Chains A and B, each alone.
Chain A
């Protein structure tokens, strides 16, 4: 007998990641099957349909092109193997559970801060992804203009983020925000997979960053990925006790690339893969630039009242290997 579960996994703006199980070297989605935790990974190529529903300012052809470009951006990551195949247009809604992967607009008036979301339907006996639908919330104003349009969100940018979820990536915390009313305003981001979108009119979400490249390559490694990049492991502690949920960023001093991850165990261990070889600074900061639940589950016990701390050890990441980054002790 086949049981099926359905869960909302992620969205562009502050939607909880109900099944986000942290695994390995980049935050991916995982599925608990009995005693086993399985990484959520698509069978390739991903076959998708585009919903034939236009919105003001965005025709179906515009949407089709923008979604195609988003898939192409991920598929263009040389160190990863992701591929997708557009099947065609469909009148099916991305909100329906119908066994096909649909990407398109849908009206979700109650989701006042959700630009888009990715829903998985998973066979929980096998862990197979049955479908992964992406909706873009048509309560917002959208654009596909090459130069962006003030007041309108860029379809390709939001699609790029959601397609990252579709492939199995969780959220990155590589960004800075400030509180604005009940929400947050983005100040800067270093990853397409940051959960808070660039503002309407911005085109910055169209470009994958090193953090995204590391994430997708870690999940779908190309033949040379392991040989050409390196990784760092370590622990974050406070008063000698391991911390779960601290945000750790690796900054390669030669390439200038930033890749982040979290401490993902109670003893404060972290691992960051897909790094450029060379001298690398490790920076630890609290998970305070978004709702904690948009990054990790469970959210209990995550401490955010400590200072940004740099590792005393400058790690030198080897090509094709891993280096121990030691212990980084943080304090208030």
Chain B
């Protein structure tokens, strides 16, 4: 006979005893009885009494995963000579160079501390190796143009707020968040450093897959989608100082 609320605990215990990590749990997500939900052969759970630990949101959560930044335009420059007009010749374009930061995936780490209710103070770091690619066009002597590429090392350290909901009828925990941080880009040989600001506004969802194992309150997956704003870094056109972009993230989280 199964008692309401017993399923998560009994499912988690053997895993914990066997020393199985959260990552393995992600490959075999447990089926959980949710409040008000009835699975075949199972009675509906009674959440308020059966899962007292889950009724309170976690105080601290940490997520480690992968983030993909779409990159984007970093400006266009014309290489110009001076023409032979009289008395002034004006500019004659030798070639044009379009520069963009290529999309890149990197390692993202985020940690949050609940302040009150659904409000969480969150900070994070992102490390990636994007390239900046310059495409040459309109060369006066060579119509095929060319491409020049440099590999960068990019670091973002940011902080901000997250607000999350805990809908009664769903096990997912959606959230919205915003952050502002320090952008640091280095040339591959680390001799040149460009700093800037990096902001993100977006949302996402926590998908708890394991509850109350090895002292943690929950573990599972976290997915983020963000609109990004960036100023500084390697950017060749200072007339457009703020660049918009998109980033996606998926991470494994643990909450305590």
Contacts and interface: CB of A to CB of B under 8 A. Distances in A.
Interface of A: 147-148, 150, 174-176, 185-190, 198-204, 209, 249, 251, 253-254, 256, 258, 277-279, 281-283, 285, 307-319, 321, 323
A321 B234 CA distance: 18
Interface residues of B, number: 41
Contacts of A190: 80-82, 94
Interface in B163-192: 187-189, 191-192
B77 A256 contact: yes
A278 B193 CA distance: 9
A249 B79 CA distance: 10
A204 B192 contact: no
A236 to B, nearest CB: 14
Nearest to A283: B95
Contacts of B146: 309-310, 312
Of B86, B95, B189, B234, chain A has the most CB atoms within 10 Å of the CB of: B86
Nearest to A289: B141
Given A176-B92, A316-B187, A310 B78 contact: no
Interface in B59-93: 75, 77-89, 92
Nearest to A254: B236
A318 B187 contact: yes
B148 A314 contact: yes
* Nearest 4 pairs of A and B residues by beta carbon: A310-B146, A148-B87, A188-B81, A308-B142
A302 B18 CA distance: 74
Interface in B90-135: 92, 94-95, 97, 99, 132-134
23 contacts: A147-B87, A148-B87, A176-B140, A188-B81, A188-B83, A188-B84, A189-B82, A202-B87, A202-B88, A204-B84, A204-B89, A251-B97, A253-B99, A254-B236, A256-B77, A258-B81, A279-B236, A281-B148, A316-B150, A316-B191, A316-B192, A317-B192, A318-B187
A155 to B, nearest CB: 14
Interface in B24-41: none
A312 B150 CA distance: 9
B147 interface: yes
Contact of A285 (B92, B141, B192): B141
Given A176-B81, A312-B148, A316-B187, A199 B86 contact: yes
